[in-house]
Amino acid sequence: MTANYNTVLDPVLKARLSKIKHVALDMDGTIYLGNTLFPFTLDFLKTLSDNGIGYSFLTNNPTRSVHDYLEKLAGMGISATEENMYTTSLAAIDYIKTHFPSARRLFLLGTPSMARQFGEAGFEECSDDPDDIPDVLVGSFDMTLTYSRLCRAAWWASQGVPYIATNPDKVCPTSERTVLVDCGSICKCIEHATGRKPDITLGKPDPTMLEGILHRHGLAPDEIAMAGDRIYTDIAMAHNAGAFGVLVLSGETTLETALAVKRESEKEKDPEFFPPDLIVRDIAELGELLLSCRNPTWTL
């Protein structure tokens, strides 16, 4: 149980858990694995809803639009709306609207599904033409990328066009016998060719995604828990946003790795180490703890 992972669920930890009004959920490794829903996910989401705790799904993968992700969740039996979904595409849209309010035309390295998301937000996509000058260049995980468009993106980067990246991931995890080159590697190619890095890289561990959810629901940082299976993205983002970081052991990270990070952070006082505030077996256990801390008479 959790007490074994955290030595003891002390009063301070209980007090922090009792404040949680919203849970931000990583997807793969947290609510499902690959295309298989964990057997406890639906009960966990119902527990949150029944107890007045909101939830959102977060992903660093911008290749699908919100509509496409909602279709995937529906196929797994999860009923969700746009209010429950926050992707790096939405983070990029929010960032552009906030920091470049007059921007309308974008040069996108992204899938057609992602491009549709930007179109629905009121943006126009520039063509691969040196005379079709964009207001902003957006680098992303583009599985439809062509050499010509990569070169055009490098050109706009070299010309000083505002440049953002949707996520830092070097590769996208896959069980297939290939390497899925992700946004971070594509942007590294542009950097090697032009000497220019993105002005900002969104997605986990950048706090922008969580800040978007905080703003959307009117929450304070200590009222949201970020639950995910990766220390270097999910837990790091929680740390960067001042939120409560919950590591689940149902995906990538093992208990041994999590405890090693915790030991190193305590020993080295290294800001690059982001130990989770809480380690749980899975979100089912997180649900149990949230209930027990909201209702002191409820016991595990």
Annotated binding site: 26, 28, 204, 229
Q: How far lies 99's CA from each of 131, 198, 289, in Å?
A: 24, 15, 39
**Among this protein's residues, is 26 annotated catalytic?**
yes
* Residue whose pair of structure tokens reads 């940082």 in the numeric block: 221
DSSP string, 30-61: TTEETTEE-TTHHHHHHHHHHTT-EEEEEES-
In this structure, are residues 168 and 240 in contact, taking their beta carbons and an 8 Å threshold? no
In this structure, are residues 136 and 163 in contact, taking their beta carbons and an 8 Å threshold? yes
Q: Which of 10, 26, 169, 282 is catalytic?
A: 26
Q: Which of 10, 28, 50, 68 is catalytic?
A: 28
**Among this protein's residues, is 132 annotated catalytic?**
no
User: For residue 267, with 0-12 CB atoms within 10 Å meaning exposed, 13-18 middle and 19 or more buried, which class applies?
Assistant: exposed
**Sequence ranges of the binding site for substrate:** 204
**Sequence ranges of the binding site for Mg(2+):** 26, 28, 229
Q: What is residue 106's three-state secondary structure?
A: strand
Q: Rounded to an integer, what distance in angstroms lies between the CA atom of residue 60 and that of residue 167? A: 6
Q: Which residues are catalytic?
A: 26, 28
